[in-house]
């Protein structure tokens, strides 16, 4: 085993692996990570989720619920390689943690429950990894448990995720009888007598598996040969391919991001060593994925960063966390150069200079202070008070921007109100901290009612935040019923003119704008375009117009919800030499926006959820009928083992309390998962009821 007591800082970049552990909830990510830490010598025992003694799930809420809520980083060593790991949540409410982790990681281990195969959140994290071009290996976990089946789970990967997946190990035995693996590259068997022992025995492939192993090895070669010309030539001429050649070829194919090695086992024991070997052998080092594009602020020119410590410093802040002992932590991935404690950096996203007080390497919530961090490494920085998630940090002499991180919009809200005056005094500051940490949280104050509405990705997400307020800051709040995060948009293109004129004795106020409002396709957000020519409105007043539009967008004229999927173009207007001001143009823009939205056919949008219900077949009819009564649309039903999977799209507004409803329909024998899918227009009769309820 490697010595993990002291973090080594001098690993060459080709010996570094930055990986994430990603999966559907309860597939076994955290347990697999705990096992990795044990077998690399980082810990002395394998922590168990159900007993609440894991290293990576350190929050009280995580240990109580047995789920991962926040991504946790750690470092370990295996076969002369340094492996930086981020263990991510599997619950859909915390998908932002996966999003920001994959943005800065070079590779990933996707964990699947061997009893379930590909599940809904498996598909979500797979799409997220595709978005950031992250090479992956697939680990089918729990295949030694009752109902575990490596081959069925592998088939579901091929069917639902990628045809370009192939096993590199095959399990020896079935369910509880599994006692080893066949290595299809070495064509050797590795067996063990106890799942939690330290050593495996190398031996010949069992006779009853030899033919199957040859078939799967050939399938593996079929998948990867095209990625290496030398191997392809040998393959086409039926020549023998050596172990070394096949290792090289599988690595090339995996690094392409289009081929995915598959292995199986139990994440609580010795099969984790196969995972570690595969991480080292097949997943990329920072050198292998040197495709990070930077944009020069001065010229707008783009270029590819060289991931070396000799280049100017560049890093991306991907996570903000409030630590009760050291304060505000900013997690960064360094892409080039190096950063020393005590130095100054430029936050080029916000054009602010900040001082780096200390640099830490993290093991979940434990910290080790270091003097510097180099290209290819991940760490946490203390002292960056202005930096937010997705901001670029760089040298002042080399001002660049890296691609930021985009997050899904929150879909559900709750009214929160402090219980006491003391709670009221603290609540604003506490919410500000959580908004810095979590980009999928939003807070809106209803001007008419004075209510504060906290929006998040789901009921569990909001429940956790309220619980954290109480535990971490002793702030008690009352909460209202969950609310849907509706949006407003428009159907037609209109031109509108508005003049804002006020005169009260002295200097007056004069602003005059002519705007065009037009609908955009779903998901495009809000665009503001300045097409003023000939100085009809002086340049110094244009920001006032833009501010007015942004303010008006936050509270639409139909029912007071944010407006989306529109473009507002400012193309004409006039000004007064004395009375015009930025504020007058802002007010004129707000008036023009309100009138335009009314004339353009304003309508409401509601969040639609992707729902999957796993149920015994005898309840299928009742569940389908129930979904239909909720304005849901059935997309697919599929038999999966002894259960049936029902996939549907259902409006979020109809899904509150569904867990209780489903238990009643199925005697507690069905389960469901739900995640945001898209927005759709609300039927007119329901829109009327919503507007009436708001008035």
User: What does the alpha-carbon distance between residue 114 and residue 358 come to, in Å, rounded to a whole number?
Assistant: 43
Q: What is the pLDDT of residue 3?
A: 43
Describe the crossing of helices 542-553 and 582-599 by its angle, rounded to 10 degrees: 40
Q: What is the mean pLDDT of each run of 10 residues along the chain (695 residues)?
A: 48 88 84 87 63 49 56 86 85 78 92 89 87 93 91 93 94 89 94 77 93 94 90 85 92 94 87 92 88 88 86 92 79 92 94 93 77 89 92 93 87 89 87 88 76 86 88 88 91 96 80 96 92 91 95 90 95 92 95 96 94 90 95 89 87 89 88 86 91 74
Q: What is the pLDDT of residue 45?
A: 62
User: What does the alpha-carbon distance between residue 308 and residue 463 come to, in Å, rounded to a whole number?
Assistant: 43
- What architecture does CATH give domain 489-600? 2-Layer Sandwich (3.30)
User: Residue 250: which residues within 8 A CB-CB, separation 6 or more?
Assistant: 168, 185, 220, 224, 259, 261, 281, 282
The β-bridge relationship of strands 16-23 and 81-87 is: parallel
For 586, half-sphere exposure in the C-beta direction (CA atoms, 13 angstrom radius) is: 10
CATH fold of the domain at 13-213+259-286: Rossmann fold (3.40.50)
Task: Say how many Å lie between the first and final Cα of the chain, rounded.
Answer: 67
- What is the chain's alpha carbon radius of gyration, rounded to the nearest angstrom? 28
Q: Where are the alpha helices (DSSP H) in 22-113?
A: 29-39, 60-65, 95-104
User: What does the alpha-carbon distance between residue 90 and residue 110 come to, in Å, rounded to a whole number?
Assistant: 11
As a dihedral over the C-alpha atoms of residue 193, residue 197, residue 203, residue 204, rounded to 10 degrees, the angle is 60
User: What does the alpha-carbon distance between residue 641 and residue 673 come to, in Å, rounded to a whole number?
Assistant: 18
> Bridge partners of 647?
612, 636
- Is residue 331 a contact partner of residue 388, using CB atoms and an 8 Å limit? no
Q: What is the pLDDT of residue 280?
A: 95
Describe the crossing of helices 229-236 and 207-224 by its angle, rounded to 10 degrees: 120
* 604-694 shares the fold of 412-485: yes
- Is residue 166 a contact partner of residue 219, using CB atoms and an 8 Å limit? yes
Pick one of 3.30.300.20, 3.40.50.10860, 3.90.45.10, 3.30.70.240 as the CATH number of 604-694: 3.30.70.240
Residue 232, number of CB atoms within 10 A of its CB: 15
Pick one of 2.115.10.20, 3.40.50.2020, 2.40.30.10, 2.60.40.2470 as the CATH number of 293-402: 2.40.30.10
User: Residue 251: which residues within 8 A CB-CB, separation 6 or more?
Assistant: 281, 282
DSSP 310: T
Domain ranges of the chain: 13-213+259-286, 293-402, 412-485, 489-600, 604-694
Nearest to 568 by CA among 648, 620, 514: 514
Q: Would you mind telling me the total number of residues written for the chain in this entry?
A: 695
Q: How far is CA 219 from CA 164, 258, 322, 475, 527, in A?
A: 10, 16, 49, 59, 50
As a dihedral over the C-alpha atoms of residue 447, residue 448, residue 453, residue 459, rounded to 10 degrees, the angle is -150
DSSP 313: P
Phi, psi of 122 (to 5 degrees): -60, -45
Phi, psi of 512 (to 5 degrees): -140, 120
> Bridge partners of 81?
78
H or E element: which one contains 250?
helix 243-255
Phi, psi of 294 (to 5 degrees): -115, 150
Which pTM does this prediction carry?
0.78
Q: How far is CA 477 from CA 64, 414, 586, in A?
A: 21, 11, 36
CATH fold of the domain at 412-485: Alpha-Beta Plaits (3.30.70)
Q: Is 50 exposed, middle or buried, given 0-12, 13-18 or 19+ CB atoms closer than 10 A? A: exposed
Q: Is 20 exposed, middle or buried, given 0-12, 13-18 or 19+ CB atoms closer than 10 A? A: buried
For residue 34, the SS3 value is: helix
User: What does the alpha-carbon distance between residue 202 and residue 280 come to, in Å, rounded to a whole number?
Assistant: 20
Q: Where are the alpha helices (DSSP H) in 333-390?
A: none
User: What does the alpha-carbon distance between residue 356 and residue 341 come to, in Å, rounded to a whole number?
Assistant: 5
Q: Where are the alpha helices (DSSP H) in 600-673?
A: 620-629, 658-666
């Amino acid at each position: 085993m490697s010595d993990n007591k002291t973090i080594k800082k001098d690993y060459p970049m080709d010996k570094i692996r930055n990986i994430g552990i990603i999966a559907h909830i309860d597939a076994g990510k955290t347990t697999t990570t705990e096992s990795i830490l044990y077998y690399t010598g980082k810990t002395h025992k394998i922590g168990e989720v159900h007993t609440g003694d894991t290293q990576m799930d350190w929050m009280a809420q995580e240990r109580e619920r047995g789920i991962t809520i926040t991504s946790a980083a750690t470092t370990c060593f295996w076969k002369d390689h340094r492996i930086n790991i981020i263990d991510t949540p599997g619950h859909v409410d915390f998908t932002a943690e996966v999003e920001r982790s994959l943005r800065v990681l070079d590779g990933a281990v996707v964990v699947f429950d061997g009893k379930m195969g590909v599940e809904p959140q498996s598909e979500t994290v797979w799409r997220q990894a595709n978005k950031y071009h992250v090479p992956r290996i697939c680990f089918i976990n729990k295949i030694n448990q009752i109902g575990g089946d490596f081959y069925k789970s592998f088939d579901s990967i091929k069917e639902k995720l990628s045809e370009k997946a192939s096993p590199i190990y095959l399990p020896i035995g079935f369910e509880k009888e599994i006692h080893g693996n066949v290595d299809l590259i070495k064509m050797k068997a590795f067996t063990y007598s106890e799942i939690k022992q330290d050593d495996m025995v190398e031996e010949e492939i069992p006779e009853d598996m030899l033919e199957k192993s040859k078939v799967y090895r050939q399938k593996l070669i079929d998948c990867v040969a095209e990625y290496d010309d030398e191997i392809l030539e040998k393959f086409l001429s039926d020549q023998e391919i050596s172990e070394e050649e096949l290792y090289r070829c599988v690595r090339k194919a995996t690094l392409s991001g289009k081929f995915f090695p598959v292995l199986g086992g139990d994440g609580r024991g010795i099969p984790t060593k196969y995972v570690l070997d595969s991480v080292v052998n097949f997943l990329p080092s920072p050198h292998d994925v040197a495709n990070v594009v930077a944009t020069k602020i001065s010229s707008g020119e783009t270029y590819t960063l060289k991931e070396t410590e000799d280049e100017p410093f560049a890093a991306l802040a991907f996570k903000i966390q409030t630590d009760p002992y050291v304060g505000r932590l900013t997690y960064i991935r360094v892409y080039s150069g190096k950063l020393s404690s005590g130095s100054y950096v430029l936050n080029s996203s916000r054009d602010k200079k900040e001082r780096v007080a200390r640099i830490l390497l993290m093991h979940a919530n434990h910290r080790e202070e270091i003097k510097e961090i180099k290209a290819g490494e991940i760490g946490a920085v203390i002292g960056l008070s202005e930096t937010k998630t997705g901001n670029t940090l760089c040298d002042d002499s080399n001002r660049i921007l890296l691609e930021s991180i985009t997050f899904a919009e929150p879909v559900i809200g709750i009214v929160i109100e402090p219980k006491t005056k003391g709670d009221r005094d603290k609540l604003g500051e506490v919410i500000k901290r959580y908004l810095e940490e979590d980009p999928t949280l939003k807070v809106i104050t209803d001007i008419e009612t004075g209510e504060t509405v906290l929006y998040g990705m789901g009921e569990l997400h909001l429940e956790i935040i309220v619980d954290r307020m109480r535990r971490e800051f002793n702030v008690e709040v009352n909460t209202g019923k969950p609310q849907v995060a509706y949006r407003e948009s428009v159907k037609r293109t209109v031109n509108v003119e508005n003049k804002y004129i006020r005169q009260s004795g002295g200097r007056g106020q004069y602003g005059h704008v002519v705007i065009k409002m037009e609908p955009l396709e779903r998901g495009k957000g809000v665009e503001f375009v300045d097409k003023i020519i000939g100085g009809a409105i002086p340049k110094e007043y244009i920001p006032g117009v833009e501010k007015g539009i942004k303010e008006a967008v936050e509270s639409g004229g139909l029912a007071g919800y944010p407006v989306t999927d529109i473009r507002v173009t400012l193309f004409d207007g006039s000004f007064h030499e004395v009375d015009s001001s930025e504020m007058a143009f802002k007010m004129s823009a707000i008036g023009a926006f309100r009138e335009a939205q009314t004339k353009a056919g304003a309508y409401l949008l509601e969040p639609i959820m992707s729902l999957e219900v796993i149920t015994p077949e005898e309840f299928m009819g009742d569940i389908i009928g129930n979904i239909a009564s909720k304005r849901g649309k059935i997309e697919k039903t599929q038999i999966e083992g002894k259960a049936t999977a029902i996939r549907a799209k259902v409006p979020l507004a109809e899904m509150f309390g569904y867990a209780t409803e489903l238990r009643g329909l199925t005697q507690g024998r069905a389960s469901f998962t739900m995640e945001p899918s898209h927005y759709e227009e609300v039927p007119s009769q329901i829109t009327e009821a919503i507007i009436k309820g708001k008035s």
